[in-house]
Amino acid sequence: MPYHEFDCSKCLPERKKHAVTKGTGDNLATALPLGYLNTIPGSISERGCAYCGAKHVIGTPMKDVIHMSHGPVGCTYDTWQTKRYISDNNNFQLKYTFATDVREKHIVFGAEGLLKQNIIEAFKACPDIKRMTIYQTCATALIGDDINAVAAEVMEEMPDVDIFTCNSPGFGGPSQSGGHHKINIAWINDKVGNVEPEITSDYVINYVGEYNIQGDQEVMLDYFTRMGIQVLSTFTGNGTYDGLRAMHRAHLNVLECARSAEYICNELRVRYGIPRLDIDGFGFEPLSQSLRKIGMFFGIEDRAEKIIAEETARWKPELDWYKERLKGKKVCLWPGGSKLWHWAHAIEEEMGVKVVSVYTKFGHQGDMEKGIARCGEDALAIDDPNELEGLEALEKLQPDIIFTGKRPGEVAKKVRVPYLNAHAYHNGPYKGFEGWVRFARDIYNGIYSPMHQLSGLDISKDEIPTDRGFVTQRMLSDAKLPEEIAKSESLRRYTGKDDIIADLRKKNPPYFTPIVKAEAAE
Amino acid sequence: MNCQFKPKDRIGTINPIFTCQPAGAQYASIGIKDCIGIVHGGQGCVMFVRLLISQHLKESFEIASSSVHEDGAVFGALDRVEEAVDVLLMRYPHVKVVPIITTCSTEVIGDDVDGVVTKLQEELLDVKYPDREVHLIPIHCPSFVGSMVTGYDVAVRDFVKHFSKKDKPSLKINLITGWVNPGDVKELKHLLAEMQVEANVLFEIESFDSPLMPDKSAVSHGSTTIAELTATADAQGTIALNRYEGGQAATWLQTRWDVPAVIGPTPIGIRNTDTFLRNVNDMTGKPIPESLVKERGVALDAITDLAHMFLADKKVAIYGNPDLVLGLAEYCLDLGMKPVLLLLGDENAGYEKDPRIAAIKENVDYPMEIITNADLFELEDRIKNGLELDLILGHSKGRFVAIDYNIPMLRVGFPTYDRAGLYRYPVVGYAGATWLAEQMANTLFNDMEVKKNREWILNVW
């Protein structure tokens, strides 16, 4: 294996097998780091906990639910207002978070009574909301509170409410990924099959592993609806609690983020015989292939092709404007889990950048397999990176931009590498055809910020150009472009609006009439 | 009495005002030079606090985790602390101070962190790092006790307890700032410099606002040294500006080393800054110089253009860290405003005896509430039920209350991630008094224009 040993980690021999450099001719059989093992204490890893994996990543995007954490307030506070998973019900799930506020006396005497009071109180405070998820935390798991029993008792007393319980305390596993798994399994065990949906189309899917970051889900939902497909539920972005209880009636599970949600798809296949189709909403080609695959499954390829043709014609000239200017730019693709393989190949092919490194905080070896398979030669692949390794990699690779989280982005800033938020995006959504152009635009604006150029100058010793009061991004990006491209009439910069989700929401309701019925009526 | 002082009625918390104890200890730890803390618990207890701090300051800070997994929770996780200390020391050769901050999980399972520190001293530090100065400091922060405010208070006390040692008397004073911003520390140091007073500043966090350098060398970190912490025992006296964030450390220094302590007031507003300077004068004998008389005059000149014309009678709700909230409330009263609701996000037995709360209860002549153990739903619920407000003062976590109910809000406190650069400006001192009055006014002006509420008033001013 072409393992990469970081200088800063020479004293930690076990780290050596967690990074590889993909050489010429290497594939995932010959270049694959270890993954998803216990974190080395004190290494300043970037991993989170199983509670946040369950509550923060998967649970909370459900929009019509009281999300209550059973524990001290910290877990709730810390996982509140750090994400951009919006919803079309005025963002209830972003705005409200609930903690049972466990204190020392409860640790000593138990907190089940406290939990029950909290549940009743929360439903009273939010009279329009009739659904709740209760998340176990480290403290209440360790004292052995039976949250299931309390939930059952309340449901008995309050027949109009429904409560889901998620037992995923923070210490459960090496990273947030343990929590993804637990909440997937708990949901199918406890809630799927409890609600019978109204079926309005011949083509019915669940959209799984999609969290509606800045409206991603709503963009994709638009395509599915234009194909006449009924989306029973989204797991979980912009999803409803009762919609997700009806998952068993879909004909197909369309899976986006396999890292966080393949578990429920696999169980739906085993228990209800619903096939799983992995798709990809990022990138013109992967997205087109995805819509085609769904079309083929239902025998409605023509509807997919119509959308692909329309959207490509509208947005490809804009994507290509950026591609010409991003060619060869070096990118560190350092997300949490699945984006390393969702994006690696697609950004190289469609934006012309070169992915010089991929990493994953909580991905499993399967994610690395896909990531390695999809990234180019010489890419440095790192599992569970830590602060010093990240800095060493940035120094060695000298990327033009890095896609990562907010805090690591601040680290990159200090070594003069601009960052894009890979988890929450800058000016998303990034899914869909237009979204992909918005991503390209954010990358372009990051790399060619005139400010970024200025930050490299040392005014005490460098030559300071005094002949200009400004430069534009174009002056930087087009300096070395062939004239026919720089002045091309067929390419253009992004022309969309600031907020593209507001218009999508206005398409509702006539827009949601299934095409299949409309055709039948004709 | 017009002012009601009581805990909130509900038992649970909807939209908390504070996070838990370990966050406070972590915020204190990054103020010390060559210090990287290890939080003993699940990884989220660090990862999210680092994110929170980086959201507020737009910088990244190094804090480690002992990464307790399931086996540790069942069988005990002290081996994770032992490994974490060694890994950290191996890879960060500059690190000298390692607070070991416990969390709810490791307090519940009863890990003996104090014992493991003794063990590590003998078996690791003396053996593997005999020539290196390393301080391992247990800090107990069960999340089910207190709040991030008490966590900060406990950590400052424990750092001082660990390091302070008598040598020879010094003319310096100890300035314990409480949980503040880089801009506050800059202003406080400026005031002391004008008074020609030297101080051990706990903590020197002006450097949190670090540059982006062409040679990529800058790192954001506090710069209070071990020498300064040690010398706290020799100081002429301690001024702890915040009763609940550093008060314990000041009291401890007085009890253990006979260093006289003055606790409070939080120098927010003209009056409290005056008192602070008088306290410095009393402690050091250094006169208040003409330069500060002038600075005070500049501030009053600016504030006089605003107070009785625009700010008087405006009804304000304030939430956040208790010393900040009470300091702001006092200043608002001095400005002629009406703080009608103060929300303190925890239950601290000290609130009952706080002279500021007693004075407010005694003197306000309009209906007012001070709610302890409060959450942000207390604010929202009152607005829904008819509480009229002209202004909210508080941190970013309450942003949706302001947005959804169209109430102008000035971000103040921690965290203020939804506004640019606020950590750079002081709320303390004369500069802070000016900044607060002007920002409150501008926030109201902007709201008048957005709502077309007598927006023509500012045609002439």
Would you tell me how many other CB atoms lie within 10 Å of the CB of residue B211?
A: 11
pLDDT (tens digit per residue) in A318-340: 999 999 999 999 999 999 888 88
How would you list the strands of the sheet with A354-360, edge to edge? A19-21, A380-383, A354-360, A330-333, A401-404, A419-421
Chain B neighbors of A458, CB-CB under 8 A: 214-215
pLDDT (tens digit per residue) in A13-30: 999 999 999 999 888 889
Q: Which of A302, A322, A325, A305 is nearest to A313 (CA)?
A: A305
Q: Do A49 and B381 touch (CB under 8 A)?
A: no
pLDDT higher than 90, residue A1: no
Residue B415 preceded by cis peptide, ω within 30 = yes
CB pairs under 8 A between A and B: 247
Q: Do B16 and A77 touch (CB under 8 A)?
A: yes
Closest CA in chain B for residue A95: B400
Q: pLDDT band at A173, cuts 50/70/90?
A: confident
pLDDT (tens digit per residue) in B280-335: 999 999 999 999 999 999 999 999 999 999 999 999 999 999 999 999 999 999 99
Alpha helices in A399-513 (DSSP H): 406-414, 432-447, 450-454, 473-477, 483-486, 501-506
Closest CA in chain A for residue B47: A48
pLDDT (tens digit per residue) in A458-500: 999 999 989 999 999 999 999 999 999 999 999 999 999 999 9
Chain B neighbors of A464, CB-CB under 8 A: none
Q: Do B212 and A416 touch (CB under 8 A)?
A: yes
Q: Do B60 and A78 touch (CB under 8 A)?
A: no
Would you tell me how many other CB atoms lie within 10 Å of the CB of residue A2?
A: 14
Tokens standing for residue A141: 């798991």
Q: pLDDT band at B397, cuts 50/70/90?
A: very high
Residue found by looking up tokens 């991003």 in the block: A326
What integer pLDDT is reported at residue A522 of this predicted model?
Answer: 45
Q: How many helices (H) and strands (E) does chain B have?
A: 18, 15
Which of B72, B86, B399 minimises the CB distance to A171? B72
Q: Do B70 and A172 touch (CB under 8 A)?
A: yes
Task: Tell me which residues of chain B, numbers 363 to 382, contact chain A at a CB-CB cutoff of 8 Å.
Answer: 377, 381
Please state, in angstroms and rounded to a whole number, the distance separating the CA atoms of residues B235 and B328. Answer: 30
Q: How many helices (H) and strands (E) does chain A have?
A: 23, 14
Q: Do B104 and A52 touch (CB under 8 A)?
A: no
Which of B69, B81, B397 minimises the CB distance to A174? B69
How many angstroms separate the CA of residue B150 from the nearest CA in chain A? 13
Confirm if A80 and A258 have CB atoms less than 8 A apart: no
Give me the amino acid identity at A386: N
Please state, in angstroms and rounded to a whole number, the distance separating the CA atoms of residues B443 and B310. Answer: 11
What integer pLDDT is reported at residue A180 of this predicted model?
Answer: 96
Tokens standing for residue B101: 């901050």
Please state, in angstroms and rounded to a whole number, the distance separating the CA atoms of residues B437 and B163. Answer: 39
Tokens standing for residue B214: 């062409």
Task: Tell me which residues of chain B, numbers 400 to 429, contact chain A at a CB-CB cutoff of 8 Å.
Answer: 400, 404
What integer pLDDT is reported at residue A366 of this predicted model?
Answer: 87
- In degrees and rounded to multiples of 5, residue B401 shows phi and psi of -65, -45
Chain B neighbors of A48, CB-CB under 8 A: 43-44, 47-48
Q: Which of B117, B137, B125, B108 is nearest to B28 (CA)?
A: B137
Confirm if A339 and A363 have CB atoms less than 8 A apart: no
Q: pLDDT band at B353, cuts 50/70/90?
A: very high
pLDDT (tens digit per residue) in B125-181: 999 999 999 999 999 999 999 999 999 999 999 999 999 999 999 999 999 999 999
Would you tell me how many other CB atoms lie within 10 Å of the CB of residue B347?
A: 15
pLDDT higher than 60, residue A509: no
Compute the Cα dihedral for B197, B201, B207, B208 and give only its sign: negative
What integer pLDDT is reported at residue A521 of this predicted model?
Answer: 46
Strands A19-21 and A380-383: antiparallel
A187, containing H or E segment = helix A177-190
Please state, in angstroms and rounded to a whole number, the distance separating the CA atoms of residues B248 and B254. Answer: 10
Task: Tell me which residues of chain B, numbers 176 to 195, contact chain A at a CB-CB cutoff of 8 Å.
Answer: none
What integer pLDDT is reported at residue A495 of this predicted model?
Answer: 98
Interface check B147 vs A, CB under 8 A: yes
pLDDT higher than 70, residue A512: no
pLDDT (tens digit per residue) in A251-280: 999 999 999 999 999 999 999 999 999 999
pLDDT higher than 80, residue A457: yes
Average pLDDT, rounded, for chain B: 97
Which of A73, A122, A458 minimises the CB distance to B16? A73
Q: Which of A100, A197, A107, A106 is nearest to A151 (CA)?
A: A100
Interface check B15 vs A, CB under 8 A: yes
DSSP string, A268-331: HHHHH---EEE---SSHHHHHHHHHHHHHHHT-HHHHHHHHHHHHHHHHHHHHHHHHHHTT-EE
Closest CA in chain B for residue A50: B44
Tokens standing for residue A491: 């390419």
pLDDT higher than 60, residue B226: yes
Which of A47, A96, A107 minimises the CB distance to B43? A47
DSSP string, B316-379: EEEEESHHHHHHHHHHHHHTT-EEEEEEESS--GGGGG-HHHHHHHHH--S-EEEEES-BHHHH
Closest CA in chain A for residue B17: A77
Interface check B110 vs A, CB under 8 A: no
Please state, in angstroms and rounded to a whole number, the distance separating the CA atoms of residues B63 and A42. Answer: 9
Q: Do A80 and B15 touch (CB under 8 A)?
A: yes
Confirm if A78 and A144 have CB atoms less than 8 A apart: no
Query: A183-187, A374-378, B343-347, B359-363: which range is least confident on average?
Result: A374-378
Residue found by looking up tokens 């992967």 in the block: A286
Tokens standing for residue A251: 């004909």
What integer pLDDT is reported at residue A446 of this predicted model?
Answer: 97
Quote the Cα angle for B291-B294-B295, to 5°: 85
Closest CA in chain B for residue A459: B214
Q: pLDDT band at A517, cuts 50/70/90?
A: low
Interface check B16 vs A, CB under 8 A: yes
Which of A12, A139, A171 minimises the CB distance to B143? A139
Closest CA in chain B for residue A103: B144
Q: Which long-range contacts (CB under 8 A, 24 or more apart) does B378-384 make?
A: B378/B8, B378/B343, B379/B317, B379/B319, B379/B341, B379/B343, B380/B15, B380/B404, B380/B405, B381/A125, B382/B341, B383/B407
Confirm if A355 and A347 have CB atoms less than 8 A apart: yes
What integer pLDDT is reported at residue A508 of this predicted model?
Answer: 61
